[in-house]
Amino acid sequence: MRPLAESSPLPQLLKKTGLWRASQLDCEFRQGTPTGYALLDQHLPGAGWPTAGVAEILHDQQGVGELRLLTPALAYLSQQQRRWQLWVSPPYLPYAPALVQAGINPAAVLVVRPTTVNDSLWAMEQALASQSCSAVLAWPGNIQEKQVRRLQLASKTGHCLGVLFRPAAAAQQASPAELRLQLRGLRAMPLRESSALEVRVLKRRGGWSSSPFVVEFHDRLNQVTPDFADMPARNPARPLPELAFVEPHRYSPAHDHQQQ
């Protein structure tokens, strides 16, 4: 059967009525917040992060590129909106000079460290629904499906992007989040000057899951600099914390994010 042309009456009627079609990601979706990566935008409904909804980022190791995947969008929101960006229980404090370099206003970034899981969930839900935040990033640890559902509803109320960083094993659990991405770090390759990240879309509204694809960061972090070449090799099983937003050869174990 020959597919219908987009200019024919039936496809135009389907578009106007908002009827869901598995072959069309952008059906019934508003424009998303650009991710800053053209290939990733092609895989997401609305060609970007949800403007109001919860996205889950699943990964096993910190520092594989989970924040670099988000910094262009955070910079965009920081420049386009005068709202807070809340970080709930990050494993490390963000590095302010690197936030500025990425285009994020550090004066609009709030970091909270609740002492209990219930307090963390309360802070996340209140911030998402408050309409005073453009983005809420959280590292909630173990979280239940009903709790994610409440956060999803709160993000719709506050028109806020919510991002939950969860372990890769959470992919085996059901989640009402409208977007779920699984990340895997790629080892440095001689032919690749920039660092990269393997991304797989596990869940997206209006479409099926995707095959893994590679997002290039277009940096020069794979280049060996003179001062880094003389340093002893670090354990590859313990990546440098990306939340510090510093290049590996400039990172110091005594960084102030370890201070309380």
Chain segment 13-72, per-residue pLDDT in tens: 544 444 545 545 544 456 899 999 999 999 999 999 999 999 999 999 888 899 999 999
Residue 109 has pLDDT above 50, yes or no: yes
Domain assignment present for 253: no
Q: Angle at CA 123, nearest 5°, toward 118 and 129?
A: 125
Q: How confident is the model at residue 130 (pLDDT cuts 50, 70, 90)?
A: very high
User: Running DSSP on this structure, what letter comes out for residue 17?
Assistant: H
**pLDDT confidence of residue 222:** 54
pLDDT band at residue 11 using 50, 70 and 90 as cut-offs: low
On whether residue 235 sits in a domain, the answer given is: no
- Tell me how far CA of residue 42 lies from CA of 47, 115, 201, in angstroms: 6, 39, 11
Number of domains into which the chain is organized: 1
- Considering the chain, what is the average pLDDT of its residues? 80
Range of the domain at 71: 38-225
Residue 25 lies in a domain: no
**pLDDT-based confidence at residue 125 (cuts at 50, 70, 90):** very high
In a domain, 44, yes or no: yes
Which CATH number characterizes residue 52's domain?
3.40.50.300
210 within domain boundaries: yes
pTM: 0.76
Confirm whether 24 is domain-assigned. Answer: no
The answer to the question of residue 207 being in a domain is yes
